[in-house]
Amino acid sequence: MILQLLISGISLGSVYALIAVGFAVVFSNMKFSNFAHGGMISACAYIGFYFQRAFTEPPHVFVTMLFTALCGIALALFIDFVAYRKIRQKKAPNLYYFLASITFAILIEQILNVFFGKNTYAYPPIFAENIFTIGSLRVASIDALILGVSLVILTLLLLVMNKTKIGLAIRTVAINPETSRLMGINSNMVITAVFVIAGALAGFSGVLLGAKYTVYPSLGQSMMIKGFTASVIGGLGSLGGAIAAAVMLGVVEIYLTYFFGALVTPIFTFGIMLIFLAVRPEGIAGRFAKVKV
């Protein structure tokens, strides 16, 4: 049972990692908390659900994820264009980034409420068997899918960030925006790339969360809290720290839920974040981030 819970915890933590990295990649470059990311996850979960419903024979889940990731990218670029670009161009006070992100998060959730109500929607079954066994170990098929997909996506993302020119540009802007401009790096291109990454991660997260749970308007915002918590524990703006903290958070949450119940778990989760803020505010990454808000 302990090993089975560990696998479930790592699976849950891996999807938290997708959310936390989507949050952290924007924070590391633009130095503000993009709470609209939660609304994007909810919207993408609905897009994936209706994409599958649009066909007599539901398409493969990987096709759904790719389509939803493209929609997530389009939504992220739209939000940047409408909410953040003018703020950057006019060099408005930093508080406006926070206000714009909160406004868009609430707006998306309310739009979903108007069109879909408070009802929950379940994705069509992905697997013929929901459980498979490895020896005496019983593993949920959806947990195995989430773990595998998340590992592939996070590995590819880390390779892009560390082995490509655009990844180098993103990391350079995150470290020192002024110096990067003097080096001739196009900051607008970097910001576009950052929102492309965040949007794709929102798309993948939306489908995985919708398939594991159900789809409802506040799905993304409720999970965004977990991603934000992991990002804080990992060190705001640190991708590696966010991944490590997210996996840890997922494992701790599963064990706490099993032994103490679901109602008690959030108390421990936020307690862990408060302890980190008090004892090690720089997080697992071990460095402070300069923030706009």
Please check whether residue 288 lies inside any domain of the structure. no
Per-residue pLDDT, 118 = 84
Q: Is the pLDDT of residue 293 over 50?
A: no
* Burial (0-12, 13-18, 19+ Cβ within 10 Å), 219: buried
* 239 close to 21: Cβ distance less than 8 angstroms: yes
Res 190 pLDDT > 70: yes
Residue 237 lies in a domain: yes
Average confidence (pLDDT) over 269-276: 87
Give the pLDDT of residue 277.
Answer: 83
In a domain, 292, yes or no: no
Residue 144 has pLDDT above 50, yes or no: yes
Tell me: pLDDT of 288 over 60.
Answer: no
100 pLDDT band, cuts 50/70/90, is very high
Query: Is the model more confident about 256 or about 137?
Result: 256
293: in domain: no
* SS3 sequence of the chain: CHHHHHHHHHHHHHHHHHHHHHHHHHHHHHCCCCCHHHHHHHHHHHHHHHHHHCCCCCCCHHHHHHHHHHHHHHHHHHHHHHHHHHHHHHCCCCHHHHHHHHHHHHHHHHHHHHHHCCCCECCCCCCCCCEEEECCEEEEHHHHHHHHHHHHHHHHHHHHHHHCHHHHHHHHHHHCHHHHHHCCCCHHHHHHHHHHHHHHHHHHHHHHHHHHCCECCCHHHHHHHHHHHHHHHHCCCCHHHHHHHHHHHHHHHHHHHHHHCCCCHHHHHHHHHHHHHHHCCCCCCCCCCCCCC
Specify the pLDDT at position 292.
46
Would you state the pLDDT for residue 132?
Answer: 80
Output the domain CATH number for residue 242: 1.10.3470
Domain annotation covers residue 204: yes
Instruction: List, for residues 108-130, the tens digit of each pLDDT value.
Output: 999 999 999 888 999 988 887 78
pLDDT digits (tens, 9 = 90+) for 193-224: 999 999 999 999 999 999 999 999 999 988 88
Asked if residue 30 belongs to a domain, the reply is yes
User: Where residue 2 falls among pLDDT bands split at 50, 70, 90?
Assistant: confident
Q: Work out the number of other CB atoms within 10 angstroms of the CB of residue 133.
A: 9
CB atoms within 10 A of CB 135: 5
Q: Domain tally for the chain?
A: 1
Res. 291: pLDDT tops 50: no
Tell whether 216 is covered by a domain: yes
* Residue that has been written with the tokens 């308007």 in this structure: 217
What is the span of the domain harbouring residue 272? 2-279
Q: What is the mean pLDDT of the chain?
A: 87
Instruction: Please report whether residue 208 resides in a domain.
Output: yes
